[in-house]
Amino acid sequence: MKKFGFNSKNEYLPSFDKFQSSINQRLMFLKLFNQQVNCSLKFSKKEMSLCKNNSLFELFINKIFINLQCSSNYSSKINIDIEKTVLINKFLKKVRLRTETIPLKYSIFTKKINNLKKSTDLLTLLLENDFSFFLDGNSCFKKFVSNKIVNSSHNREVTVSDDCIDIISHEQLFQTKIFTFWEFINSKKLDIDKHINKAVKCIKESDFKQVYLVYPKNDDFCKHVSVRCNDIKSSEYNIKLIPYSMRSTLR
């Protein structure tokens, strides 16, 4: 499952490790969504707690409506944003075809422009994708891992590039290259020759002697695995498969 997410009727979320229940799967999705967007669009803990009884589609819709600050009482002191109002009405018309929880009438008057922008940014995201939204697994997992490494690094230099994560410690004299993969592997039935070849090429063409291939931790892959290959025989070089837990998204 390279991409995971939802539409107005179904959720397409990975099941692994502690993410067997729909509640935990939704929490993981929302946490990963939060790390991809700016602060104004992030879900709060209170909003995420509603995933026990609401689908992801419902959570997004609720967040949009809460920030609309809707009212049927007109006041000349309140500004009307025509462009956004047209966009919102278009959204309301389409969303009513997918759910019965939406009131029939809305008048949008608000002083809180920031809240209005939150809603229009979110509803635009849904409208552009026909009321579905999917995250790219590889991108999210790499960002999750890199954030954890950066936040836990002391006296180490961490560089995050498009393809990898480099950790360099001048004090302890070591360099580690990390490649992340959103794949749920089985340590007893490995089929990752392309990944191992990538690690071997890195060792041959760079100064890195230690290369880690990082995957989501799951029931079939929960321990480090050292890789030995004919192309690299010296014991000073090290290739490891690393299971990386995502349980912290449940906190």
Chain centroid, CA 14 distance in Å: 12
pLDDT at 111: 55
Helix (H) or strand (E) run with residue 219 in it? none
Query: What is the Cα–Cα distance from 241 to 121, expressed in whole angstroms?
Result: 39
Q: What is the pLDDT of residue 113?
A: 66
Q: Answer for the pair 4, 137: CB distance below 8 angstroms, yes or no.
A: yes
pLDDT at 231: 78
153-250 adopts what CATH topology?
Trna Endonuclease; Chain: A, domain 1 (3.40.1350)
Q: How far is CA 143 from the centre of its chain?
A: 8
**CA-CA-CA-CA dihedral for 192, 195, 197, 203, to nearest 10:** -140
- Residue 26 corresponds to which tokens in the numbers above? 């939704």
Determine the Cα–Cα distance for residues 202 and 226; give it in Å rounded to an integer: 16
Count other Cβ atoms within 10 Å, centred on residue 44. Answer: 10
CA distance 22 to 18: 11
61: left (phi over 0), alpha (psi -120 to 50) or beta: alpha
Angle formed by the axes of helices 56-68 and 113-128, nearest 10°: 150
Look at residue 194 in the predicted model and tell me its pLDDT: 96
Give the strands of the sheet with 225-227, arranged side by side: 157-160, 165-169, 174-180, 210-216, 238-244, 225-227
- With CA atoms as reference, report the closest residue to 61 among 50, 73, 77: 50
The DSSP secondary-structure symbol of 67 reads H
Q: At what angle do helices 56-68 and 22-34 cross, to 10 degrees?
A: 50
Q: Are 74 and 109 in contact (CB under 8 A)?
A: yes
Kind and range of the H or E element at 238? strand 238-244
Give domain limits for the chain: 3-136, 153-250
Mean pLDDT per block of 10 residues along the chain (251 residues) reads: 94 97 98 95 96 95 79 50 77 74 52 76 92 97 96 88 92 88 96 95 92 98 92 84 97 92
Per-residue confidence (pLDDT) for residue 112, from 0 to 100: 62
